[in-house]
Amino acid sequence: MHEVDPARLRDVAELDARPPARHTPRGATIEHHNRADGAHEREDHHQTTHGVNDIRPGTGALASLPMSRVSFCAIGILLLLGCRKQQQNPADAGAILTARTLGLAYVEENRLEEASNEFVKLIRLAPEEPSGYANLGLVYLRLGRYTDARREIDRAVKLAPDDPDIRLLQATAQRLSGDSNAARRTLEASLQQSPRHLKTLYALQAWGRLVEAAPANVAARLAYAEALLDSGKVVEARDQLELLRQRLPTLPMQAQRAFAVAVANPAPASLARAQAVLETTPIYQASMAELRGPTGTPPGYPILTFSARLALTSRRLRGRRSLP
């Protein structure tokens, strides 16, 4: 038999007599120390954890709570945080879609007070959605409340600074408020981000760039020909009218004669007669709808698109409704 060293037995006995080490929720081992080390322990603990989450007996902010209650508190906090990050539930998405649809319908019918109520509701349901603020600004614009309109549209711009339709609406509000210089700066800045946005090009009367962006647009090319003629560039104006003639479908006889005279003899009077006849044709009216609203309509254009996140949510909702 091997002899046992008494000193080693004493060490083992002392080790077994110590309380077992505990582990914190983060996995850090906490050793039990003698009372003589209490002052050092408190000082070290203050420097590292400041006592906020210390769950050792008699110390820390959670010392008086049972562990089961602490666990329930932690789970509750995590659930609350998780709920904040969830997407719109189907009920919210349906309410958002309804408010948007009704608001746009009321704008179309010029029922502006009812439209404003729907867009206010949309903003409350989806405060991160730019179209709610933009369309509420449009309603205020048509009600003549220009200060309110600019405030709401500016909020939409902060959420979607590169949206050319919202920027165009912002420029319209600035122009109607009497700040034409700001309106032009807004349009020019927007054009840097969206160089082929037709309504912005039309608003800036950038006819050459507009024709390049929409070569088949009858109204754009006719406006370009008129601008060239006003600048004394008769040959260039005739070239644009000839290109337009090649793109036009079969016109009524009266329109054909008026347009033929304008091509043969480009002059302000003949061009004005040709334009007056063309304005009654469906192709001209459709081309103008690409560039601006019909003559006589209130200022501004409704924002018809959702942000990408809400557009995806609304598509999912429509798909769910279409299921048998």
Structure tokens, 175? 């122009």
- In terms of domains, do 169 and 185 share one? yes
Residue at 275 is within a domain: yes
The C-alpha angle with vertex 231 and arms to 230 and 236, in degrees rounded to 5, equals 95
Q: Where residue 229 falls among pLDDT bands split at 50, 70, 90?
A: very high
* C-alpha span between 320 and 308 (Å, rounded): 18
Q: Where residue 99 falls among pLDDT bands split at 50, 70, 90?
A: very high
The residue out of 174, 194, 214 marking a domain boundary is 194
Supply the DSSP symbol for 304.
-
Tell me what pLDDT residue 57 has: 45
Which residue(s) pair with 22 in the sheet? Answer: 30
pLDDT tens-digit series, residues 178-200: 999 999 999 999 999 999 999 99
pTM reported for the whole predicted model = 0.67
Please give the residue that has the higher pLDDT: either 170 or 283: 170
Residue at 236 is within a domain: yes
- In terms of domains, do 236 and 271 share one? yes
181, 172 Cβ separation under 8 angstroms: no
Q: DSSP letters of 190-258?
A: HHHH-TT-HHHHHHTT-HHHHHHH-TT-HHHHHHHHHHHHHTT-HHHHHHHHHHHHHH-----HHHHHH
Say what percent of the chain tops pLDDT 90: 50
- In terms of domains, do 275 and 215 share one? yes
Domain interval for residue 105:
91-194
The total number of structural domains in the chain stands at: 2
Residue at 241 is within a domain: yes
Residue at 121 is within a domain: yes
Residue at 128 is within a domain: yes
Residue at 62 is within a domain: no
Tell me what pLDDT residue 308 has: 54
- In terms of domains, do 156 and 209 share one? no
The residue out of 149, 169, 194 marking a domain boundary is 194
pLDDT tens-digit series, residues 279-304: 888 889 999 999 987 666 788 888 98
- In terms of domains, do 127 and 185 share one? yes
Residue 122 reports pLDDT greater than 90: yes
- In terms of domains, do 159 and 240 share one? no
* C-alpha span between 241 and 291 (Å, rounded): 19
Average pLDDT for 16-43: 48
Residue 29 reports pLDDT greater than 80: no
Residue at 258 is within a domain: yes
Residue at 179 is within a domain: yes
Residue 150 reports pLDDT greater than 90: yes
Tell me what pLDDT residue 30 has: 44
The residue out of 194, 221, 247 marking a domain boundary is 194
